[in-house]
A and B are shown apart, each in its own frame.
Chain A
Amino acid sequence: MQKHTISAIICLAGALVAAAIAGASFLAMRKPDLIVRGPGVTDVKMLSDWFPGLKGTPGDTEVYILKGADDGASMLVLGGTHPNEPAGHIAAIMLIENAQPKSGTLYVIPRANASGFTANDPQEGAPQSFTIQTPNGPRVFRYGSRATNPIHQWPDPNVYIHASSGQTLSGSETRNLNRGYPGRPDGTLTERVCYGIVQLIKKENVTITVDLHEASPEYPVINAIVAHPKAMQLASDMVLGLEMQDIKISLEPSPVNLRGLTHRELGDFTDTLPVLMETANASQGRLRGRTDEALVLTGKDKWYVRAEKLGRLYVPYDEKGHPLEERVGRHVTAISELMNSWNLEHPEKPLEFEGLPGYEDFLTKGIGVFLLPLPAKN
């Protein structure tokens, strides 16, 4: 055998080994995190139960239902619309594992874009997962991609045309769940997930829909609630409720000409009152330094401290960062306040849930104590 043939075989073997190691690591990301059914969970369904077109696809996702003994209003909480925004995802899990319904029904979708949890964004250097320590041992959660996994929806068009408005965006936005509403039953996987969520809202007559997000500290809409005009009264009551607890949050009206987002399309196409909330996540920001699990968990980043001093940010930023417990605490407290605001105006049709930790609980005790132990492996 010639010398160059031998070296070619060695190189090919090296490539196959590298592909096998990388492939195993990528495939491991497709296994969803374990979420524990809390004491208030009365049923777990799949989104395909409302839209069978999702059955068997990587877009199908769990819907946790917490139904109270008394009738009341209903709320849908979307976590993981963008799987690189961990506070939204973890806040949804907090509801599933802690909330105990009295009146009304809570629907929680912790992985709204389930496909996005199976991959990372390329060239971001983001961790594949992060670990939260609990009294019962560590719990691991995936840090995913902002968008649907290209393996599940590929190739992207050059220009993404939003179906119902004709709005054009860059091609990769075709995989952004929060640009695809109200969705189409025969559209892309992302549009079908949007369509499934809209079907759930319509069929269950969901009163309020909350879409949980995070944003880069340099993004203007941050520590904010964005509300559809129909939900403006509810949202402004909630802002007052948070102010009473010294939690600053700004209220933004949903822009009329920004299409495909929950706070716009769910209000236009269904009877629900939609709001979207943002907290400050340095690990998705453009000014960040080292991107690792610690950044996801603590938000501590010297470059953001510097950017703050230069007046480039829309949130206060110091050496203490914005830890995950603060961000999750904001989301969970805001959801409690939304319920309170609703109940003030609609005492005949209340939304009453117990067991939700308050903002101070998160700041003083952390997140881990509110995560349930995983079932023993057998």
Chain B
Amino acid sequence: MFYIYLAILAIVLALTVWVLFDTKKLSLQVTAAMVIVPLLLRLLMIK
């Protein structure tokens, strides 16, 4: 179960980074950057 959650998390993180580089809208890029922080901290099992 734990690894399924981590896999889902990794996919969402990858998609967020993809959106960050794909979009031309700066506001969406900033939003994506903010979303990356908690996803990354959880993927690394820090928080």
Which A residues form the contact surface with B (CB < 8 A)? 4-5, 7-8, 11-12, 14-16, 18-19, 22-23, 26-27, 119, 151, 154-155
**B residues 5-47 touching A (CB-CB < 8 Å):** 5, 17, 20-21, 23-24, 26, 29-30, 32-34, 36-37, 40-41, 44-47
Whole-angstrom distance between the Cβ of A25 and the nearest chain B Cβ: 9
How far is B37's CA from A26's CA once the two chains are assembled, in angstroms? 13
| A22 and B41 within 8 A (CB) | yes
Partner among B1, B2, B5, B21 whose Cβ is within 8 Å of the Cβ of A5: B21
User: How would you classify the secondary structure of chain A's contact residues: helix, strand, loop or mixed?
Assistant: helix
12 contacts between A and B (CB under 8 A): A7-B26, A7-B29, A11-B33, A12-B17, A12-B20, A15-B40, A19-B41, A22-B37, A23-B46, A119-B47, A151-B46, A154-B5
Among candidates A4, A12, A15, A23, residue contacting B47 with C-beta atoms closer than 8 Å: A23
B36 touching A19, Cβ below 8 Å: yes
Please report B residues at the A interface, Cβ cutoff 8 Å: 1-2, 5, 17, 20-21, 23-24, 26, 29-30, 32-34, 36-37, 40-41, 44-47
Given A4-B23, A7-B26, A151-B47, decide whether A14 and B5 contact each other with a Cβ distance below 8 A.
no
Kindly list chain B residues whose C-beta atoms are within 8 Å of the C-beta of A22. Answer: 37, 41, 47
Which residues of A lie under 8 Å from residue B26 when comparing CB positions? Answer: 4, 7
Tell me whether A11 and B41 are in contact (CB under 8 A).
Answer: no
Residues A155 and B30 in contact in the complex (CB < 8 Å), given A12-B17, A12-B20, A15-B36: no
B45 surroundings in chain A (CB, below 8 A): 151
A22 CA to B37 CA, complexed, in Å: 9
**What separation, in Å, do the CA atoms of A241 and B9 have in the docked complex?**
56
Residues from chain B with Cβ under 8 Å of A155 in the complex: 1-2, 5
Q: How many Å lie between the Cα of A27 and that of B44 in the bound state? A: 11
Chain A residues with Cβ below 8 Å from B21 are 5, 8
| A19 with B40, Cβ < 8 A, contacts A7-B26, A14-B33, A26-B46 known | yes
Q: How far is the CB of B18 from chain A (nearest CB, A)?
A: 10
Expressed in whole angstroms, the minimum distance between the Cβ of A29 and any Cβ of chain B is 10
* Residue ID in chain B nearest A23 by CB atoms: B46
